[in-house]
Amino acid sequence: MNYQHHLFCLAISKKLDAYVIAPVYPLAPKHSCDETFDLMDDLYGSLISKMGKDQTISLMGDSAGGGFVLSFCQYLKAIDLPQPNNIVVYSPWVDIALSNPPYDNDSDPILGEIGLREIGKSWAGELDTHDYRVSSLFGDNTDLPRTLTFAGDNEIFYKDILKYHEKLKEDGVDARLIVGEGMFHIYPLFPSPEAWDAFKELKKEFE
């Protein structure tokens, strides 16, 4: 978790009057998704069990973390745990197989296809890269909670995010997509007028 993430979590805590938990979980290439699912199972189950009647829980994530949040919520149905009240993801990586080429490497100043493919294989470990636990695009979204997605139309994941958003709608999810025109990967986390506009949309989600 870098400095920018800390600032963003602080802003969410203050502006939304929320208690923010930012778990530090195992990452690729030294770790695969199985370890992270095991740890998050325990953490999420513990949080749910301690919630009061008037409390709500939201899951957020960006990039690979955003993809993990979506896959994890699909997975919650398999382990019989309740869904969060809502989901917010920023530029989620929904298809680590990158199975819909060609991808626009030139417009994205942050990510590149070659490196992503190798990281994706590492994260999948023994799983197929099309398994929903690593690529939420191929999972079942039925009964997922209200979902807000942010994406920049210049990022490499943009067309996969569009495809996933349409699938959410088809699966009956109350889903909203905010597109930053001319913006890049996880743009809402960086100080800019566009990021402030995105934060206003985030506040609407919790009003």
User: pLDDT of 159-207, one tens digit each?
Assistant: 999 999 999 999 999 999 999 999 999 999 998 999 999 999 999 998 7
Question: Which residues on neighbouring strands pair with residue 86, listed in sequence order?
Answer: 58, 146
CB-based contacts of 132: which residues, under 8 Å, 6+ apart?
71, 74, 75, 138, 139, 140
How large is the C-alpha radius of gyration of the chain?
Answer: 16
Q: What is the mean pLDDT of the segment spanning 1-13?
A: 83
Question: CA 196 from chain center: how many Å?
Answer: 19
Q: What is the mean pLDDT of the segment spanning 139-164?
A: 97
How does the average pLDDT of the chain come out, rounded? 93
Does residue 137 have a pLDDT over 70?
A: yes
Does residue 47 have a pLDDT over 90?
A: yes
Q: Which of 60, 58, 56 is nearest to 89 (CA)?
A: 60
Dihedral of alpha carbons 197, 199, 202, 207, sign: negative
User: 60-89 burial by CB neighbour count: b if 16+ within 10 A, else e?
Assistant: bbbbbbbbbbbbbbbbbeeeebebbebbbb
Q: How many angstroms separate the Cα of 81 from the Cα of each of 46, 73, 96, 110, 170?
A: 11, 9, 25, 35, 23
149: left (phi over 0), alpha (psi -120 to 50) or beta: beta
Phi, psi of 177 (to 5 degrees): -120, 125
pLDDT at 49: 93
Is 95 in contact with 137 (CB distance < 8 Å)? yes
% pLDDT > 70, the chain: 100
Query: For residue range 77-123, what is the model confidence (pLDDT) as tens digits?
Result: 999 999 999 999 999 999 999 999 999 888 888 899 999 999 999 99
Does residue 26 have a pLDDT over 90?
A: no
Q: What is the DSSP letter of 84?
A: P
pLDDT at 1: 58
Please name the helix (run of DSSP H) or strand (run of DSSP E) that holds residue 122, with its range, or none: helix 113-124
Maximum distance among all Cα pairs of the chain, rounded to whole angstroms: 49
80: left (phi over 0), alpha (psi -120 to 50) or beta: left
